[in-house]
Amino acid sequence: MFPTLIEFGGTRVPTYLVALLTGFCLALWLGWRDAKNLGFRRQEYLDFGIWLLIFGIAGARIFHVLFDGLGQDYLALCLNPFELDGFSLPEGLCSTNLECVRGGGGPVCNPSDGLCYPARDCFRVFKFWSGGLVVYGGVIAAGLFAWWYARRREINWRGVLDLGAWGIPLGIGFGRLGCYAAGCCYGKLCDLGLAVHFPVNSPAYRNHWENFQDALQAQWQSGIEGSLGVWPTQLMESFGAFAIFLFAYFWLRPRTLDERLPKGSAFGISIALYAALRFVLEFLRADERGELLSLSTSQWISLVVIGLALWMNTRVQKSATS
């Protein structure tokens, strides 16, 4: 796990942010050739891409705050961090802030319960570069902006959406690599050979320390440090997203360019494939997320996305043949 890629002068550059921007820049670069055919000028396309990034991040962050069940946590982090769940150090109860800092449990020790807590931070809700983005929120917000922009500029909006058929999974692929580096979005316990162990003080480790102390201590005695073995859900989603990108760019894209497939259909197919992938992988995730009727928020959104994608492709096909 490498949550910080570069650190200089007290400034940390999160690996997650670098991975996210790398995926975005590559998607923007790949889309330029097709964007020219849609009527974009170079500077206009760059401006369009920057606005896509802004809307995408804003939508992803808003969905995270609203639907991941962490809204009250952000409020408590601003008003009174001691209302959050404290972290107990492996050595026992803390008595000083320095012990919490060294143990990675948060910089503030609460002497009344001996647990470590994060420092007060009213701006944490805006710090997306530290993690906490919901893919679907970004896709919905950026997609709506792209549709509005294309209609306003009288550009073929279906062709604009098709740019996302390969751009979105490419960005997700890099973004999930960033998740793996940050240790977020981790999976449930796994005893198979593909299981991964996250280091001490990672989100998975803290979860296991609070809920599976006996198993964790038994693992330590066997010489394995870090969290218990978990499903590598971040890598699984990353590989799946890259596979969708390859399929969309090298199979769907040529068929939309020569009109064997109507414009707009590539986006519908690609987003439906991702929704199906996400629906399955959500069963393997263990990080804290919103839930309704035994399904996560993302699983419900996946079902809606699949339905909308099928409906959209049906409409596109009918429009192409009429």
User: Can you tell me the distance from the alpha carbon of 267 to that of 274, in angstroms, rounded to the nearest whole number?
Assistant: 11
Reference 165, options 139, 184, 141; nearest CA is: 139
Cβ atoms of residues 160 and 149 within 8 Å: yes
Looking at the predicted structure, is the pLDDT value of residue 69 above 90?
A: no
pLDDT above 70 covers a percentage of the chain that reads: 98
* Residue 12 three-state SS: strand
pLDDT tens-digit readout, 220-233: 888 888 899 999 99
Q: How many residues does the chain have?
A: 322
Looking at the predicted structure, is the pLDDT value of residue 219 above 80?
A: yes
Cβ atoms of residues 242 and 173 within 8 Å: yes
pLDDT tens-digit readout, 261-282: 898 899 999 999 999 999 999 9
The per-residue pLDDT for 1 is 67
Interval 130-149 mean pLDDT: 88
Tell whether the torsion through CA atoms of 277, 22, 151 and 140 is positive or negative. Answer: positive
Q: What type of residue sits at position 171?
A: G
Interval 146-165 mean pLDDT: 90
Looking at the predicted structure, is the pLDDT value of residue 112 above 80?
A: yes
Q: Which residue has the tokens 């991975």?
A: 19
In this prediction the pTM is: 0.88
Q: Which residue has the higher pLDDT, 159 or 106?
A: 159
User: Can you tell me the distance from the alpha carbon of 179 to that of 150, in angstroms, rounded to the nearest whole number?
Assistant: 32
Is 176 labelled as part of a ligand binding site?
yes
